[in-house]
Chain A
Amino acid sequence: MTLVAIILGGLAIFIGYHYYARHIDRDVIQSDPRKATPATLYMDGVDFVPASRNVLYGYHFKSIAAAGPIVGAITAANIWGWLPSIIWLFLGVMFMGWASDYSAIVVSVRNDGNSISAIAHRLIAPRTRTILLTFIFFYLLLVAGAFGNLVADVLNRQPQVPLAIVALMVMGLLGGQMLYRWRMDLIAVTAITVGVTLLVILLGPAGVSGEGAQTVQGPVGQALQAFDRGIDSLAGGGPLYGYYDPTLPPAQGQQPGGAVLNNVNVTPSFIFWLLFLCLFSYLGAVLPIWRYAQPVNYIGFWLTFITIALAFLGAALAVVLNPEVAMFRLAAINPQRPDLGFGIVGGQAWQPLWPMMFVTIACGAISGWHALIGSVGTARQIENETDMLPVGGGAMFSEMALGLLSLLAVTVAGTGGGAAAFAGGIGRFLNVLGLPAQYGTALGAAAFVIIVITVVQLVIRIMRVTLAEALAERMPIFRNPHVGIIVSLVLMCLLVLSGTWVYLWQLFGAANQLMASLSLLIVTVWLVSARRNPAFAGLPMLFMYVTTMAATLVIARNLWETVVVPNLGRAGAGVAVGGAIAMVLVSALLFIAAAFIGWDGWQAYQRYRGRPAGEPQTAPARP
């Protein structure tokens, strides 16, 4: 089955790219190698710099591919089963994902390299830009909350991982020093920093014996377990507080129809690892980017790249070398949701396939964040209009492959969900290549945490800037970067400690997909203004707009009915209730903001449709 899925994925990429995407590029956009691009027209040696299509493809792919496609795919496979998830991955990227990424680059290239929000300001309405900025802030907050929860949880539960993160921090600082201060060769810096971090990761599982619940940790794991126990003993070995999370199995002793019992306990060691994440992110946000965040990101990229590439190879070879590994252990359709989640039960989480799966798998199929990166960065480096498709569309198709691998990893692992299942699946694939399972699993877990933690530190960095942009004029205290960082970290911790991770992830997915539909809306209006057929952007925009608006309502309903109501008045559940109410408010805000942009977009669509033919956005001829 693994090989069949890989072949089908390859076919989806081939058909989507060669037939549909090329047709749009040739006949609708009419990319022209003779037209000057902003990179050649406004070359300033910094932002506007023409780059080769291969370099730019690598750069754009690295900028968009990481934690999003991995986490979304493994979460959806556990909620609905692998079959609907894989279908959405294939169809989403074939008809929507590539169109969103590619068209954001096109519209920017054809509009002097302006970003999507600047174009929205001109084409749709001035307030659209302000609303998009608000969107970006809450989007970042949700990313930080969802990923922060994941990181703290894995660091707390898997004692082999924290040492790897400490090594990453040290190597990141050293890497920045070696590259920018000592001016060492990049290859040497890569060999030292990545090599040492990899060694430390593999040191974690050394000496581990047994499997599953009978696992006996090696020296590193035992030391970290003793450390965690020491911290927990500060609160007498018990939890600090507990609450009821409807997305997790019920607590032991829970009677049907009886009083709801806490099934989540927040321990001092969890708080400690959350604070550790805050420190990691604080360094990333406050230090110059070259000193810490960039080298940490770079080391993380190599570790992930090595792990994913080897896992892909193992998955492909498993059919020949070890067919048992390639067997799917996860059900095609989750047997606990034979109705695909459409049935609604009062007081329980409602997870209908539509719209919820379409926001749970976000980045692997379509993502609004890509549009932002494409229009702010990549579009200004496009040397030739014919490079727009291989760079924008090609990178998105490649990202789907990453989502597919994550889905396969969790499907062959079969049990449980989240980071542990992903790491287990990666361990099985690497085992095909001869790496002992415990090392492969540790590598999978470390790679997972590293790509997530590197995103969190940069998200906090950008949140600080966004806060300063929005509030500094009225509240000058936000000019101080430390204030912005601390506020961002406190907000992140509130979301993390309020629990209900699945809702948080889905809300993030909804914000992400709403950004994608808003970006497609801007592209649609631009296509109409340029008298071109807007269907390739307009139809996905309509689908994603309706889907994500519906999803925000379902998430708000779930939060209210399954978190706020059962936890209200429960001792110690104040943070859970406060966090859930905050998330309901964020859902409402996203809904209202999207409604405003949708209305403005519709007005702009009508305005341009009635205008005489003309193409004001066409770039001049290449000099």
Chain B
Amino acid sequence: MARGPTQYLVFGTRHWRARGRALIRALRELLYGMTGYEFAQHARHLRAERETLLLLLTFGDMLGLPILPPYYSLRLLPYVVPEIESWKRRVLRERHSLDNEEFDLVEM
């Protein structure tokens, strides 16, 4: 079916509205990247440190630490299974000497 001029107008308005929404979303993301993102990132690091401590105490044998698997580790196992792969990758990864430092905060 052929489109009339009004339909083109409507199409055009929608098109610009969609572009406007995308622009606002991009600006919001940009502002988040400049402000809140570093806090989210640091919170992730803090959580990972505690998680590593817990997993080392309970499942350290998975990394070769001589920890006898206690009964409670088996109770925890179902909850830990989804995290194990990424945890092992995180802990066993080769690191740069200054990897844990906040280079990104030294704004140069």
Give me the interface of A with B, judged by CB distance under 8 Å.
Answer: 42-47, 49, 51-52, 54-68, 114-115, 117-118, 133, 136, 143, 179-180, 186, 190, 289-290, 293-294, 297-298, 301-302, 305, 363, 367, 369-370, 372-373, 376-378, 451, 454-455, 458-459, 461-462, 465-466, 469, 512
Give me the interface of B with A, judged by CB distance under 8 Å.
Answer: 25-27, 29-39, 41-46, 48, 86-87, 89-90, 93-94, 96-99, 101-108
Asked if B30 and A57 sit within 8 Å, CB to CB, the answer is yes
Contact of B107 among A67, A136, A186, A465 (CB under 8 A): A67
Contact of A66 among B37, B41, B108 (CB under 8 A): B108
B93 nearest CB across to chain A (Å): 8
Chain A residue numbers with a CB within 8 Å of B33 are 51, 54-62
Chain B residue numbers with a CB within 8 Å of A42 are 89, 93
Contact of A62 among B48, B86, B96, B107 (CB under 8 A): B107
Some 24 contacts from A to B, beta carbons below 8 A apart, are: A44-B48, A44-B86, A54-B26, A54-B27, A55-B32, A58-B30, A58-B32, A61-B33, A62-B33, A63-B103, A117-B96, A118-B96, A133-B97, A179-B39, A290-B42, A294-B38, A369-B108, A372-B103, A373-B104, A376-B98, A376-B99, A376-B103, A377-B104, A462-B98
Most A CB contacts (10 A, CB to CB) among B25, B30, B34, B37 go to: B34
A352-B105 Cα distance, complex, nearest whole Å: 34
Asked if A59 and B98 sit within 8 Å, CB to CB, the answer is no
A106-B13 Cα distance, complex, nearest whole Å: 39
Asked if A451 and B97 sit within 8 Å, CB to CB, the answer is no
Apart from A133-B97, A455-B107, 18 more pairs, CB < 8 Å:
A42-B89, A45-B90, A49-B41, A56-B33, A62-B107, A64-B107, A67-B108, A136-B98, A179-B39, A294-B105, A298-B39, A369-B108, A451-B107, A455-B106, A461-B101, A461-B102, A465-B98, A466-B97
Contact of B45 among A46, A66, A367, A466 (CB under 8 A): A46
A103 nearest CB across to chain B (Å): 18
Most B CB contacts (10 A, CB to CB) among A55, A68, A302, A377 go to: A55
Asked if B90 and A58 sit within 8 Å, CB to CB, the answer is no
Q: A49-B44, A373-B103 are known contacts. Are A55 and B37 too (CB-CB below 8 A)?
A: yes
Most A CB contacts (10 A, CB to CB) among B31, B33, B39, B48 go to: B33
Chain B residue numbers with a CB within 8 Å of A45 are 44, 48, 86, 90
Nearest chain B residue, comparing its CB with the CB of A462: B101
Chain A residue numbers with a CB within 8 Å of B108 are 64, 66-68, 143, 363, 367, 369-370, 455, 512
Most A CB contacts (10 A, CB to CB) among B89, B94, B97 go to: B97
Asked if A458 and B105 sit within 8 Å, CB to CB, the answer is yes
Nearest chain A residue, comparing its CB with the CB of B99: A376
Asked if A46 and B48 sit within 8 Å, CB to CB, the answer is yes
Nearest chain B residue, comparing its CB with the CB of A375: B96
A590-B37 Cα distance, complex, nearest whole Å: 35
Contact of A377 among B34, B48, B93, B103 (CB under 8 A): B103
Chain A residue numbers with a CB within 8 Å of B98 are 133, 136, 376, 462, 465-466, 469
Chain B residue numbers with a CB within 8 Å of A363 are 108
A30-B94 Cα distance, complex, nearest whole Å: 28
Asked if A298 and B38 sit within 8 Å, CB to CB, the answer is yes
Q: A58-B32, A297-B105, A298-B38 are known contacts. Are A376 and B96 too (CB-CB below 8 A)?
A: yes
Q: A44-B86, A46-B48, A49-B44 are known contacts. Are A58 and B31 too (CB-CB below 8 A)?
A: yes
A443-B90 Cα distance, complex, nearest whole Å: 44
Asked if A58 and B29 sit within 8 Å, CB to CB, the answer is yes
